Amino acid sequence: NWKFNNFVKNTIENIKQRVNKKKVILGFSGGVDSFITASIIYKAIGNSLNCIFVDTGLLLETEKEKIYSLCKKMPFSIKIIDAKNQFLSKLIGIVDPEIKRKVIGREFLSIFQEESKKIKNVEFLAQGTIYSDVIESSVFSKHSSESIKSHHNVGGLPKTFMKLKLIEPLKQLFKDEVRKIGEKLGLPKEILYRHPFPGPGLGIRIIGEINEKKISILKQAENILLQELKRFNIYNSVNQAFIVLLPVKSVGIKGDKRTYEYAAILRVINTEDFMTATFSHLSYDFLEKVSNRITNEVDGINRIAYDITSKPPSTIEWE
């Protein structure tokens, strides 16, 4: 308790001094980490904070709606930027997961760069980076080829990226600690206990090449999953749940017709800190319901498999 109170107090004080009269732009994703980062910075510098939410086209509709409605309730203002076409066009033809992540990360930065030019006196870019993002992106090795995966918001700013300095107040904390800070700040439980949604979004849940058709298929499947997690009262007892769309098709039968459609993976995990995780031991009733609904209701998926690997040796996301 004492540790977290002090953390918040010291962090606010440090940011206040560091930023002084300058302005900060913050890449706001709507997730726990960026909410808490924004709240702390707002306490330090008030309206000198400019939050920017980028609609990459790789978000779930439910995520977007939730974020839009939360945005209205927050004291700080959040500018929403529609960058769907920009992201999609840059991702055409890209299959390699690391290149995908780098393209997405670069696109975010280029948007922040454009936005920072529109505001006078911007000197800082704030991000909700937490410790596990940093570790997985680099710490195991100095050679980037040996890192686990490049989280979209990690790696510092390229030299050409104006002269913005980074503010990342949560960089030393794990997810469970970040949530405790959020509780201290009095943020609503519906924000604090939402499942994380990665910055690169559905882009890293479509294995192989991304296109609009696949995004639409995956969105429908994820929606059904979310509905059933709530209906079975499972949402709060697991830490993350999603669908991965494979680039593999399989033969099936719907009605009395042959189908040749994508196979998809259901991934549901339990974890403390997202550094290690186990697959969730869910009931067959739940698994059956999700599989039946997705294969019956979503045009384009005719097979679902449940991922029963832990982290390690797998990671939570597939890319």
Binding site for ligand XMP (CB under 6 A): 101, 136, 149, 151-152, 196, 198-200, 240, 274, 311, 315-317
| Cβ nearer to ligand XMP, comparing 42 with 197 | 197
Nearer to ligand XMP, 149 or 303 (CB): 149
What is the smallest separation between the CB atom of 278 and ligand XMP, expressed in angstroms? Answer: 12
Q: Residue written as tokens 């004492």?
A: 2
- Shortest approach of ligand XMP to residue 84 CB, angstroms? 18
**How far apart, in whole angstroms, are the C-alpha atoms of residue 95 and residue 211?**
11
31 labeled part of a ligand binding site? yes
Alpha helices by DSSP H, listed for 185-279, are 189-192, 212-231
238 is in an annotated binding site: no
Beta strands 122-126; 78-82: pairing state: unpaired
Q: Which is nearer to ligand XMP, 43 or 149 (CB)?
A: 149
Is 251:259 a contact under the CB 8 Å cutoff?
yes
Yes or no: say if 204 and 243 are a contact pair by the CB < 8 Å rule.
no
**Residue 310 labelled as part of a binding site:** no
| 34 carries a ligand binding annotation | yes
* CB-nearer residue toward ligand XMP: 45 or 210: 210
The answer to whether 93 is a known ligand-binding residue is no
Smallest distance from the beta carbon of 210 to ligand XMP, in angstroms?
15
Rounded distance between C-alpha atoms, residue 250 and residue 295, angstroms: 12
Rounded least distance, CB 270 to ligand XMP, Å: 12
195 Ramachandran zone, left/alpha/beta (phi>0; psi -120 to 50): beta
- The pair of structure tokens assigned to 210 is 């991304």
Binding-site residues for ATP:
29-35
Binding-site residues:
29-35
